[in-house]
Structure 1
Amino acid sequence: MSDTIAITPEHPAETGYYRKLSSADQHLFRDHLLRLDQDARRARFAMLASDAFLRCYAETSFSLGTVIHGYFAGGILRAVAELRPLGDGMSAEAAFSVEPELQQTGIGTRLMELTLMAARNRGCHHILMNCLATNRAMQKLARRFTDDLTFEMGDVVCQISSSRPSAFSQIREQISDLYGFMVSLTEGLKPTGRA
Structure 2
Amino acid sequence: MLRCGRKDEIMSDPSLSGTIRKLWVGDTAAFREHLMRLDPATRRNRFGMAASDAFVARYAETSFSTDTAIHGLFVGEAIVGCGELRLGGSDSAAAEAAFSVESDWQGRGFGTRLMARVLLTARNRRIRRLYMNCLASNRQMQHLARRNGAELEWDGGDVVGLLVPETPSPASVLAEAMRDSFGWATAVVEMQKRVLPRRPFGPTA
- What is the TM-score of this pair, normalised by structure 2? 0.83
- 1:39-64: CA deviations, max 9, x gaps? 11100001111110011001111111
Contact 1:20 1:177 survives alignment (8 Å): yes
Please give the secondary structure, in 2, of the residue aligned with 1:64: coil
**Alignment length, in residue pairs?**
183
Q: Who is 1:51 aligned against?
A: 53
Provide the secondary structure at the position in 1 that maps to 2:28: helix
CA distance in 2, matches of 1:112, 1:139: 12
Unaligned runs of 5+ in 1: 1-7, 191-195
Aligned to 2:85, which of 79, 83, 108? 83
Match of 1:126 in 2: 129
List structure 1 segments (4+ residues) > 2 angstroms apart after TM superposition. 8-14, 181-186
The corresponding residue for 2:10 is 9
SS in 2 for 1:171: helix
SS across alignment from 1:158: strand
Q: Aligned residue for 1:23?
A: 25
1:151 & 1:189 partners in 2: Cα distance?
A: 44
- Any conservation in 2 of the 1:71–1:77 contact (CA below 8 Å)? yes
Supply the AA of the counterpart residue of 1:105: R
The sequence identity of aligned pairs, in percent, is 46
Pairwise CA distance, 1:71 = 0.2
- Secondary structure at the counterpart of residue 65 of structure 2: helix
Q: Structure 2: where are the runs of 5+ without partners? A: 1-8, 193-205
Larger radius of gyration: 2
Task: Give the distance between the partners of 1:161 and 1:148, measured in 2 at CA.
Answer: 9
**AA paired with 2:42?**
A
User: Residue 95 of structure 1: CA displacement?
Assistant: 0.3
Secondary structure of 2:107 counterpart: coil
Write the distance in 1 (CA, Å) between the matches of 2:159 and 2:31. 25
Flag the 1:119–1:89 CA change in 2: closer, same or farther, 3 A. Answer: same
The answer as to 2:155 corresponding to 1:143 is no
Alignment CA distance shift 1:56-1:39 (3 Å): same
CA-CA distance at 1:147 after TM superposition: 4.3
The answer for the alignment partner of 1:113 in structure 2 is: 116
Determine which structure has greater relative contact order: mean sequence separation of CA pairs < 8 Å that are 6+ residues apart, divided by chain length. Answer: 1
CA distance in 2, matches of 1:139, 1:103: 15
Say whether residues 1:162 and 2:165 are aligned partners: yes
Question: Per-residue displacement from partner, 1:54-98 (whole Å, max 9, x unpaired)?
Answer: 110011111111000010001111100110014322000000010
